[in-house]
Structure 1
């Protein structure tokens, strides 16, 4: 991607502090069965280069598959993967920062082109819901 193309993309950033340890949050972000509880069904493994899929609700003209590849695994600090579906080629990055009484999570979803305003709006709505689900999963007893 040329620099001009990268400069024309938007990044969605959502930050939230969870009253849970980085270890607990990391498990919720990297264990496939836990990820399925708060995000989407998947065949994820936290191994750089691993290709995997998230499975969303199928819709007309779309089978619900989100093709991904693990880009960064820095335990307890950063996790990143590509997120490719419906013409959107993007990257999700989670950064964990220890905070008093828990962990600050910064989620960045980057790569939205100017003609993908609807996808950006959908991601903004979707990630808020996903992170609310993550909070519920964490409170529900992730060890």
Structure 2
């Protein structure tokens, strides 16, 4: 990347969930579940797979970068001027799993998108928790 480390910003949301990593992994990698908590997509947990998220407001184009089952998932998140990377990290804990979502690469001119991500990701994770509560 040509941006300096100080120019790009990152949104990080961490949450402890009372579910094993395997269950959270399903919510992160199964298209029908992703559609329930995030947006409609045709996701596949395969490095290099290209997919899009779509919603009423538009969509984003993505490409899977990293797949380490039950541990790490990363994909590009590009659209509406953004060129960021979303990384999910799952860490087992005594009570379940610590889930960390990081969206990195917001430029200084992308204040609105940065604020939107800062407000949006906690709501998406709330939705995910509701989906996980319904899964067996």
TM-score by length of 1: 0.92
Question: How well do the aligned residues superpose, as a CA RMSD in angstroms?
Answer: 1.0
**Partner of 1:105 in structure 2?**
99
For residue 65 of structure 1, report the CA deviation from its aligned partner: 2.0
**Partner of 1:34 in structure 2?**
33
Which runs of 5 or more residues in structure 1 are unaligned?
59-63
Question: In 2, distance between residues paired with 1:57 and 1:123?
Answer: 16
Question: In 1, distance between residues paired with 2:44 and 2:6?
Answer: 31
**Partner of 1:75 in structure 2?**
69
**Partner of 2:51 in structure 1?**
52
Question: In 2, distance between residues paired with 1:2 and 1:113?
Answer: 11
Instruction: Please give the residue correspondences for 1:1-143 in structure 2 after superposition, counting only pairs within 5 Å.
Output: 1-2=1-2, 4=4, 6-58=5-57, 64-141=58-135, 143=136
Which runs of 5 or more residues in structure 2 are unaligned?
none
Deviations 1:8-27 (A, max 9, x none): 10000110000000100000
For residue 2 of structure 1, report the CA deviation from its aligned partner: 2.4
What is the total number of aligned residue pairs between the two structures? 136
**Structure 1: 4+ residue segments shifted above 2 A:** none
Per the alignment, in what secondary structure is the counterpart of residue 131 of structure 1?
helix
